Amino acid sequence: MKKAIITGATGFIGSALVRSLLKDGVEVLALGRKEREKVDPLRLQDHDRLTYIQIDMADISDLESILKEKNLNFENASFFHFAWGGKNTLSDLNVKEQYNNISYTIEAFLTAEKIGCKKFIHVGTMEEAFVTPYLELDYHKEKHYNRHVIYALAKKSARDFLKSLSSEVDMELIFATKSHVIGANDTRDSFLLVTLQKILNDEKIEMTSGEQTFDTIALKDCIRAFKLIGAMGKKNSEYWIGSGEPKTLKEYVQIMAKKYPPKFPIEFGKINYSDVKLSKEIFSTKLLKEDFDFYCEQSYEESLEDLYQWLKYKIIKEV
């Protein structure tokens, strides 16, 4: 992989991939909504192999003409599609914004084909695993609730659209679904990050029984996987990027509490759990291992330490 295009390039994971690819000598086109001067310098620094273009995903179909105007050639690039939004947050249940995301994804795919990209890597989320069981529920009998489902359903819809389009193009379509990613410079309101922040703030922590299956992967390992997929991923493959060793959410929290003892005991079961349960098989990294001999190099505990150093001291150990 000599060239890469990345949407959502100013985000937590997208920016880490940009920085890592630049270190590897890859020419990167980073796409984001923010003006260049407003991008966090900890995420994107100036680099002679980095081109940043401010563009809203609503205008992604203009990218081909923009590149021609700037005399930029990104033929045979790997296109990583991270960009995904909501009105306020990803899981704010805004249906219109999620419909827009589906449309933007299709336009990004078609635009990547026009540019001459070799691969299109659609980035999925572990929340998508909830979609199928939710669609099978009888809501006359079941009262399950998950605030991520509208967002995840849009992700699955985009995935299905791309599959239907892929036979019409020469570009290689690849899906890369990631488990929960842990690392420094994360500003999301994810559960484990919020829990660690509460421990640091000496706040009380109330949660469900924690019986649900969960999986995490260190940012460093997640980026390694994306780079392998971008370079050697196989057409129509669906990779799961994770630890390969999922646990219950309670186990993850207990490990965190042992490493960073909270002021107050964590109250498991204080909040009622009313969601579907996922099997460990969903989080299988078998294909990632078969195609790339991929294994994680950083443990959950080590990734927690990276997050701890960031939350407490704003220290970043680069991937």
| Concatenated DSSP letters of 1-29 | --EEEEETTTSHHHHHHHHHHHHTT-EEE
Characterise 244 by phi-psi region: left (phi > 0), alpha (psi -120 to 50), beta (else): left
> What are 29's strand-pairing partners?
5, 51
Q: Please, are residues 248 and 213 in contact by the beta-carbon 8 Å criterion?
A: yes
pLDDT of residue 86: 72
Query: What tokens were used for 82?
Result: 């991270």
| 3-state secondary structure (DSSP) of residue 154 | helix
pLDDT of residue 287: 98
> What phi and psi, each to the nearest 5 degrees, are found at residue 176?
-130, 105
Per-residue pLDDT of the chain (319 residues; tens, 9 = 90+): 999 999 999 999 999 999 999 999 999 999 999 999 999 999 999 999 999 999 999 999 999 999 999 999 999 999 999 999 876 665 555 778 989 999 999 999 999 999 999 999 999 999 888 888 777 767 677 766 666 678 888 999 999 999 999 999 999 999 999 999 999 999 888 999 999 999 999 999 999 999 999 999 999 999 999 999 999 999 999 999 999 999 999 999 999 999 999 999 999 999 987 777 889 999 999 999 999 999 999 999 999 999 999 999 998 877 6
pLDDT of residue 146: 62
> What are 248's strand-pairing partners?
213
CA distances from 149 to 8, 41, 227, 275 (A): 21, 33, 28, 11
pLDDT of residue 148: 66
- The radius of gyration of the chain from alpha carbons, rounded to an integer in Å, stands at 20
pLDDT of residue 82: 98
| Domains within the chain, CATH numbers bracketed | 3-178 (3.40.50.720)
Strand blocks (E) in 24-168: 27-32, 50-54, 78-81, 119-125
pLDDT of residue 85: 83
